[in-house]
Structure 1
Amino acid sequence: MDPLDGVAAFVRVVEAGSFSAAARRLHISKSATSAHVQRLEERLGVRLLQRTTRRLSLTQAGATYYRHCARIVEQAEFAEQAAHALQREPRGILSISAPDTFGPMHVAPAIPEFLARFPELAIDISLSPRHVDLVQEGHDLAIRIGTLKDSPLVARRLAPSRFVLCAAPAYLKKRGVPRAPDDLLRHVCFGMSLMPWGDEWHLVSAKGEHRIAARGLLRSNSADILRIAALQGLGIALLPSWAVGDELRSGTLTRILPGCEPPASTIYAVYPSNRLMSAKVRAFVDHLARRIGRVPYWEKGL
């Protein structure tokens, strides 16, 4: 038996003046209420209530014990109400982990509107290229890209993450535009160490699979660094469309070999539990999903 059950039953009996009235407040039977109080007295080794056929009265020990316990039960009720309120309305601190490039580009811009809508919320966002342990590091929510390993985490799909080949117009003017996947072998191709293929691009086209050695002058685990290098005309990058959508629309980067790319990955929101999903997590995931859209905004016009 939880000791607090006996404490709560005792306090309610004193306040209600009878076991029957206390049982109604506790939503349990009269016999269960009486049993809780009896076990409490046995555990304490002291009688708390004098019982007669007509009335109940506190013993001296019971009166002292009640003064302390009443405050405990009151604070427990306040705590329970606060917990319920957090489930109903977004408030408190929302701790988010996001990838170090996708986070600034697509999570951070969604935050101001969200905070304006929920003024009782604050956000603590951490950026990392790795998949952090949400429970161990105390995060409510993480944005992850790629294949998810089996885990107790709940995942909600937000958008596809499609890769495109791209380069600056100045580079293509100088080195020529690749017309077939094998043409890439004569070009400077950046390696992306964060991705499974590393220094070998695995591309798929209507003609099958193509493996291209990406052993140019630059290798990085950062899509942002590779995007900047491509903009400066250093070579060809294989990057997610969410990282270069604006540049492709503006023409500062040119897409190469459309239809020849790796299989699309997926962007997820992951969180520890859906059964007791807090209002703040639900609200932010819904907000981010709406902002991205069914067709991701970074894909429009490509």
Structure 2
Amino acid sequence: MNTNKLIALMPELAVFKIVVDEGSFTAAAKKLGVTPSALSKQLSRLEHTLSAKLLERTTRKLVITESGKGIYNQCCTLLEATKQAVEFTSSEHAVPSGSLTVAAPKAFLSIVLQPMVKPFLTQYPDIELKLKATDGEIDLISEGIDVVFRLTEKPTEGLVVKHMGKVSLRLCASPDYLAERGTPVHPTDLRQHDCLYLGETTTDHIWDFVKDNEAHTVAVKGRYAVNHSQMRLKGVIDGFGIGIFPDFVIKQALADGQVQPVLADWTIKGNYQGDIALQFAQTKFMPARLRVFIDYVTAHLSEYTVS
């Protein structure tokens, strides 16, 4: 296909992405200020040119085909490249401005990043900050994410990674609970205690401990499970039992004496620990808003995490 035909395809590829993102021709047409029939004709032309069915149209919804999924991913890449071209001149001297979307695990976003929001937006009044709380996997390009924080020992390949610190898992309980039930001195002692876990999967109550060359896997039990870190911490403070948390979750509660460390000389294996990895897509021309955000959190992150 020659260059002129490829260029002619670009608006139709952009329309296809918007239709998929919006979930219907009606919603996409409203966003673009055109009629649904006009978008339908554009998509039909695109399917004819590519000789591929991209969407299955039913009376209730649109279903993207396997071919459509592949084309959609290419559209995301194309629009990301276009975005970088537009932002070329902002990479060096322009005042930081525009929209910045940041994704992070829920607890990390709430406890560590949220206190930075007001001072950051005050310092950079032309930046529009969008935060997305998620504990799942994220595709930066297709989901329109500029930067993602991950708590992991294996950052996502193919993305730039900036290591911002370390997070470890810690076990704790309230002083009143330990006074009444005793303090565990070995992981196997947890079998005689009430423990709080996430309750998301059938293995959440299986806890793994390591010290030197010794390892133990313990199946704990308890009356209260909740997949929200701050609610689970409140349960521990209220004396419901012993819980595992990323260290930044319990930092203030430890300082205030609301909880005490348990089995502090043991390493706990599990998710939401390892490097605090800030990741973003590789680009030759980093937008000023992204650069100042990275610089800001780098300078302030140590105030909110446990060393």
TM-score by length of 1: 0.66
Alignment of 1:83 onto 2:92: no
Of 249, 258, 278, which aligns to 1:269?
Answer: 278
Q: Which residue of 2 aligns with 1:101?
A: 107
The answer (yes or no) to whether the contact 1:165–1:238 under 8 Å persists in 2 is: yes
Helix, strand or coil: the match of 1:298?
coil
Q: Which residue of 1 aligns with 2:169?
A: 163
Post-superposition offset of 1:95: 0.8
Q: CA RMSD in A?
A: 2.7
Q: Which moved more, 1:116-125 or 1:263-272?
A: 263-272
Cα distance in 1 between the residues matched to 2:279 and 2:84: 26
Q: Which residue of 1 aligns with 2:305?
A: 298
Post-superposition offset of 1:197: 6.3
Q: Which residue of 2 aligns with 1:172?
A: 178
Post-superposition offset of 1:103: 0.4
Q: Is there any run of 5+ residues in structure 1 with no aligned partner, and where?
A: 4-78
Q: Which runs of 4+ in 1 moved over 3 A?
A: 79-82, 147-151, 192-197
Alignment of 1:135 onto 2:141: yes
The answer (yes or no) to whether the contact 1:189–1:236 under 8 Å persists in 2 is: yes
Q: Spell out the pairing of 1:8-157 with structure 2 (5 A cutoff).
A: 83-88=87-92, 89=94, 90-148=96-154, 150-157=156-163
Of 223, 230, 234, which aligns to 1:228?
Answer: 234
Helix, strand or coil: the match of 1:255?
strand
Q: Which string of whole-angstrom CA distances, capped at 9 and with x for unpartnered residues, describes residues 247-290 of structure 1?
A: 00110011112111225522111112243332222221221121
Q: Which moved more, 1:238-247 or 1:118-127?
A: 118-127
The answer (yes or no) to whether the contact 1:141–1:269 under 8 Å persists in 2 is: yes
Of 179, 185, 195, which aligns to 1:189?
Answer: 195
Cα distance in 2 between the residues matched to 1:195 and 1:223: 16
Which structure has the larger Rg? 1
TM-score by length of 2: 0.65
Provide the identity percentage: 23
Q: 1:110 to 1:80 in 2, by over 3 A?
A: closer
The answer (yes or no) to whether the contact 2:196–2:243 under 8 Å persists in 1 is: yes
Cα distance in 2 between the residues matched to 1:276 and 1:116: 25
Helix, strand or coil: the match of 1:178?
coil
The answer (yes or no) to whether the contact 2:103–2:134 under 8 Å persists in 1 is: yes
Q: Is there any run of 5+ residues in structure 2 with no aligned partner, and where?
A: 5-82
Q: 1:244 to 1:150 in 2, by over 3 A?
A: closer
Post-superposition offset of 1:195: 9.2
Cα distance in 2 between the residues matched to 1:110 and 1:246: 17
Cα distance in 2 between the residues matched to 1:281 and 1:168: 41
Q: Counterpart of 2:209 in structure 1: which amino acid?
A: L
Helix, strand or coil: the match of 1:280?
helix
Helix, strand or coil: the match of 1:101?
helix
The answer (yes or no) to whether the contact 2:112–2:305 under 8 Å persists in 1 is: no
Q: 1:299 to 1:251 in 2, by over 3 A?
A: same
Cα distance in 1 between the residues matched to 2:118 and 2:145: 20
Alignment of 1:252 onto 2:258: yes
> How many pairs does the alignment contain?
223
Q: 1:123 to 1:239 in 2, by over 3 A?
A: same
Q: Which string of whole-angstrom CA distances, capped at 9 and with x for unpartnered residues, describes residues 77-107 of structure 1?
A: xx99963342124210111112111101111
